[in-house]
Structure formats: structure tokens, C-alpha cells
Amino acid sequence: METQDGPSQDRVKLVASTGDITTGYSTSSKATDGDTETARSQDGTVSYFEKVQWTADGTTLLASSSTNLVSGYIVPEHLLTASSELTLEPQAAVQLPETSIVLSGAPYFSLAQPWTQQLLVSARDHPIQLFCLTPSLSSPSSPASTHSPISSYPFTKARSETFLTATSLIWPSPGTHFIAGSRSLLARFDIQRTGEEPLTRIRTIPSERHLSKGGGVGMRGDISALGGQPMDAGLVAAGTWTRWVGLYDFTQAGTCVATWGIAAALRETAMNNEWSQEPRGIGGDGITQTIWSPCGRYLIICERKSRGALIYDVRVTGKLLGYLTERDAVGNQRVACDVFPSVNENSGFEVWSGTSNGIVKVWEGVGSLEGPHAPAWEWVAHRSTISNACLHPSGTVVATCAGSWEFPDGDDELPDDSPSNSDQSHSNNSERGSDVSRSDFEPHSTASQMPWMHRRIKESSLKLWSVGDAPTIAQGAEHK
């Protein structure tokens, strides 16, 4: 495997960055690389990027932060011809009133048409809401700095009318409908029917009220990931925190095609000893992403607390084709990957993924071989967890998003004005048991008395990297 401590010109080159938006907050209250109002929330918590995605036309990056801010970064047209590294600055932003569980950009997003610049947002105890990045279109009578949803879609329990939380969303092309996942439930909405319940509800188990919760039939648990098969095939792969995968055909009213547990598949492969290297060391504690290969034949399953990713050939459902090694996503944070076709159609496809240690890894020829698959090359891109490494539709640019936080060790020195999180502190106190006394929570306690209560934000930034000898990005490129 080719390892790069610093990105070389023949592979990738850093062409644009936001800079570290947390700079200055570890030692002072003044930011140097970001807006003070957006970098810190009302309770004093420092903001960091959580995830990023390309818009459908490839002109803009949609980035969401830990302070419920969604920002739009328009990519400069001279990105790949500039003589020096460019600075990325947001051209639009939506401050969400509640913490977003998931969001999805419109599949018809166009920079030339402001009305298309929309995104779906799911928040707990709220309907699914549709926002517009352009404030004047979102709410013409409101100030330019505020945003109100332009549409809402109730997602409630049939009997109690309690709001269900959409734990996953997918908004496939052409954008007339979207699919939401909740606990043991899939729902399909019509985007034009504002204020109405879903058109179709598909239960992934026979009944939630049954004592056996489905009686071993179907797929039980919160649906944490949804992935649509390319080529508008209508097949959707759903994954759960309970490590189950289900395939549902929405061209036939959401008919269940297959379900299987990935834990059982790993055990069966290990028992049969089919490969020279057994996949037991991969781990996994809940599915965070289901993503299809560009050809639509293979399905990649990514999990939290995992050191790999599983590859399935959907033509033989439930049988593990192979797995990616050294994909370190060892924490609870979501670490998403992206796929791209290989130059040679018969040589599989590429997988690009970040890791928990700030390294981007690339696997080549995925799908062409069975068994373990090691990364072909890598480079150090950030100093914290990379939640996304997503390719531009043209394949000439890759965007990386990094941001995470940690509790410092007891021996680390922290300034008195460093940000803390009292909720997380109480959580840690319950884990430590008698190691921390009740007096530590008195109002006059100081930072030196309880250093573990202070949350330390690691480096957080968005970066754009050119890939090889890439031509200029055209504004309005077609989505892959």
C-alpha cells in the first residue's frame, strides 16, 4: 500500500479550505477562522463540522455543524487553476431551530435557479421540514437572516398522533418523492403534498405490538441508514442499529425483497473459513451507511465502532462477497464513504473513506475480488475524525469534512474559559462512579478541580483536494 504523510502532486493537492473553525476557542473566546456567532452556540459550546455533501449539480457544498447550522459553500470556478490555496466561505446558511437528526439536499438543486436550492431536515418531535437556502424564498416577510420552513410533512403514529423521528432520509431523483426511515418502519412521501401524512407505510416487521416484536420475521430496529440503487432502479437498502439489512422495491409499493443480519453472515464466513484472513477483527455496532456501487450490483455496509466495511453482491443476498480492511471508524461518530467508477469498467470501482485518525484511504478494484481488500493508497488530510470524503460528480475533486471532540486526560492543562458540556459531564460522572464526589458539581468548583468535565474540540474544517490532472470544474455539472 502506498502511504503518504503529505499529499503528493501526482495523487491529490489541497486547493481550498475553510481553515480550522475552532482556532482560538481552546485558549480564548475570540475566533480567528470563522464567524463568532456561528462558531459558538448560545450555551457557549464550540461549533464543529459534522458532515458535508455535494449538491446535485456539483456547484455547492452543504455542510452541517454541531450548532444546527447548515451552510452552503459555492465552489469557485477557478478552483483548479488558482496559483494558491483558496479560502472557502459560506454564501448562504440556515440556522435550524432544533437539532437535526438527518438532512438531504434536493436532487434537482441548481445554482442558477434559487427555488431549487432546498433541503429536507428531520428533527425529534417535529414533522419533516423543507427549507430553502435563499431567505427571501423561504419567508418573504421575514428578515434576511431568518429562515422558516416552506413545507412540512407530518410523520406520526396512527393511533396516538405522536411524532415519529425520521432517523434516516433519502431523496432520490427526480425528486417528486422522498423516503424516511423510523423504528421498524419505512414511509414514502409526496414532496408536493405539504402537510400530509406519507403515501405509503411499510412495516419492516409484522407488528410492533406483538410480544415477540415480529416473531423473528423481518427487520427490527431503528432504521439508521438508507441507500438508493443507482440508475433509478427503485431498490432501497435499509440498515438498522441492530445490524440488519433489508432490500425494498419501491417500484412495487415497497415490497420486501430480502432481509439478513450481517452479524450472522460474518459468523458463517468465519466458520466456513472461506478466506485466508477471517473478518472477525472488523467489529461493528450498528449500521451507519448503506451505499451502492456505481453499477448497482454491489452493496457496501459501513458500521460504527468498526475497522472495515462489508461488500455484498445483491444477486446473492445475504452472502458476503468481501470486505474492506483498515477502514478505522472506531468511535460512535458516523464515518461515511463514497464510491466512484474505475477507469476500466471490468476492474471494479473505487471506494473513498475517511477514518477516525484523520487519514483518507482509497480502495481500488472493489467488487472484482473476493475476500479481504486492502486500501491502495492514503494521505493525511486532517487532525481529527473525517466524517465525509465525498467525490465531486466529475471525479476531479474530493471534499473532506473533519470535526470531533474529546475529553482531555486528567493531567492535561486547560484554561478557565475553555468550553464545557454539563450534560456530558453528568453522563461521565455516572460512569466514573465514586471517583468523582458530589462536591465537584458545586457552583464554586473550578476547572482545575474537574478537568475531565471540559470538552475539548479537535480541529474542524472543510477541505477540497484536486485529484490528479483535473480540468476546471464546470458550474452545473451533471450528478453522477
| 255/362 same-domain check | yes
| 42/96 same-domain check | yes
Is 475 inside any structural domain? no
Is 472 inside any structural domain? no
| 421/376 same-domain check | no
| 166/248 same-domain check | yes
Is 421 inside any structural domain? yes
Burial class (CB in 10 A: 0-12, 13-18, 19+), 476: exposed
| 399/418 same-domain check | no
Say what the pLDDT of residue 402 is.
94
| 330/420 same-domain check | no
C-alpha 235/C-alpha 170 separation (Å) is: 12
| 101/199 same-domain check | yes
Is 31 inside any structural domain? yes
> In whole angstroms, what separates CA 179 from the centre of its chain?
17
| pLDDT tens readout for residues 381-406 | 999 999 999 999 999 999 999 998 77
What's the chain's Rg over C-alpha atoms?
A: 23
Query: Which positions of the chain have pLDDT values less than 50?
Result: 6-9, 24-38, 41-43, 137-145, 211, 414-452, 470-472, 474-480
| 287/395 same-domain check | yes
Say what the pLDDT of residue 269 is.
62
| 305/419 same-domain check | no
C-alpha 312/C-alpha 257 separation (Å) is: 15
Q: Answer left, alpha or beta for residue 184, where phi above 0 means left and psi between -120 and 50 means alpha.
A: left
Is 437 inside any structural domain? no
| 265/398 same-domain check | yes
Q: Is the pTM of this model over 0.85?
A: no
C-alpha 4/C-alpha 376 separation (Å) is: 11
CATH code, 12: 2.130.10.10
Is 236 inside any structural domain? yes
229 to each of 11, 59, 109, 295, 324, how far by Cα in Å? 29, 23, 20, 9, 20
Q: Which three cell numbers stand for residue 1?
A: 500500500
Is 119 inside any structural domain? yes
User: Which long-range contacts does 201-205 make (Cβ < 8 Å, 24+ apart)?
Assistant: 202/248, 202/254, 202/256, 204/238, 204/246, 204/256, 204/259
Burial class (CB in 10 A: 0-12, 13-18, 19+), 372: middle
Is 480 inside any structural domain? no
C-alpha 54/C-alpha 48 separation (Å) is: 18
Beta bridge pairs of residue 119 = 105, 131
Give the structural domain span for 251: 2-208+216-404+459-467
- How many folded domains does the chain comprise? 2
Say what the pLDDT of residue 252 is.
80
| 267/303 same-domain check | yes
Asked if residue 330 lies in contact with residue 356, where contact means CB atoms within 8 angstroms, the answer is yes
Q: Which three cell numbers stand for residue 90?
A: 459560506
A 10 A CB-CB count for 43 gives 11
| pLDDT tens readout for residues 26-76 | 322 333 333 434 455 444 557 889 999 999 999 999 999 988 899 999 999
Instruction: Give 367's contacts (C-beta < 8 A, 6+ positions apart).
Output: 293, 295, 297, 298, 311, 313, 321, 348, 349
| 325/250 same-domain check | yes
